[in-house]
Amino acid sequence: MLSRGNTAPIFYRILSRFPPGFSFCFAYGSGVKQQLGYDTIRSKRNMIDLIYTVDNPTRWHTANLDLNFDHYSGMRLLGGNVIARFQENLGARVYFNTLVHLPEEDVIIKYGVVSTKDLLEDLIEWRCLYLAGRLHKPVEIIRNASSSKIQNAMEQNLRSALHAALLMLPEKFTEFELYRAISNLSYAGDFRMIFGENKNKVNNIVRPQIENFRNLYASSIAEQRHCLELPMNGSDNQICTQDVSEAAILAHLNGLPRWPIRRIVERQTSGRYRQDTEDILIGVSRSSNYRAIVARCLRSIVWTSSVWQSIKNIPTAGASKAVRYSWAKALKTFS
């Protein structure tokens, strides 16, 4: 289960500076969860990344403009309604304010706003594999989901991630390789990994958080005991074994969300003629190339959403902040 742990008081103080009405809120990134290459979490040089999920983006942005007008770029002059439409109709359907300095806490934050309906769609269907990808990894839950729909969608997202990762892996692998495959689902295909991110980012995320990954995926792994043997002896280098029969592969394919399945069908048919989806998935399960087929389809989803979201972030950040943020990201490429 995804649940809130011993959340640091600073997060509650940060939330108190924003309009109420979140249906869900979480923090992520190197400023929240330990990553290799960072001495400590929540150090002043690590920006805190937050996602606010709201039921009514227009109302929330309008209220936030009253409270935090300076957080926004020049788009603030367009008002909450235009900002909400910009959020919900472009990219990964998230609106980010970045490099926001909170002097009372002496921290810098970046926060994204997403509507509840768009978060649910990404978690369940992987339309963008953007916030769904962030929630494949351990995060800090600051405001627990107010709706069972969100909680259930997050759990379904984890099950989907396990199915996808097992499709990426061979018959034998280590526990570390499993969590690395899960974490890599939303990074493979992200154009920022070409320029703007540390090339060891996935390893740096997984290595110090093995225990958190174990807790996060315990229920999903237990559901796959019939086809997955995962030794639980405390070592992440023990060999794990999975069933790679056609039946097991087909079950994992059917466990993928709607948008990856849709991409697989489109690529396998190439528009020549219509076939039943199940027949196409059966054909993929029998192919020696099924890993590459699935990987290519997942990468295409991530590539599209990451490109358009990054383009979208330029006007929401403003020219000055966009340059500063991009430069900081570029430095990680060589760190």
Mean confidence (pLDDT) of the chain: 88
**61-72 mean pLDDT:** 97
pLDDT digits (tens, 9 = 90+) for 196-239: 566 688 999 999 999 999 999 999 999 999 999 998 776 778 89
pLDDT, tens digit, for every residue of 91-140? 899 999 999 999 988 999 999 999 999 999 999 999 999 999 999 999 99
3 state SS of 83: helix
197 contact partners, CB below 8 Å, separation of at least 6: 187, 190, 329, 332, 333
- The predicted-structure confidence for 255-285, as pLDDT tens digits, reads as follows 999 999 999 999 998 766 567 999 999 999 9
Calpha distance 210→236 (Å, rounded):
7
Q: If you average pLDDT over residues 72-94, what whole number do you get?
A: 95
The domains of the chain are located at 9-334
At 166, the pLDDT band (50, 70, 90 cuts) reads: very high
Q: Is the dihedral of CA 310, 315, 317, 323 positive or negative?
A: positive
CA–CA gap between residue 154 and residue 137 (Å, rounded):
11
- Cα angle vertex 73, ends 66, 65, to 5°? 10
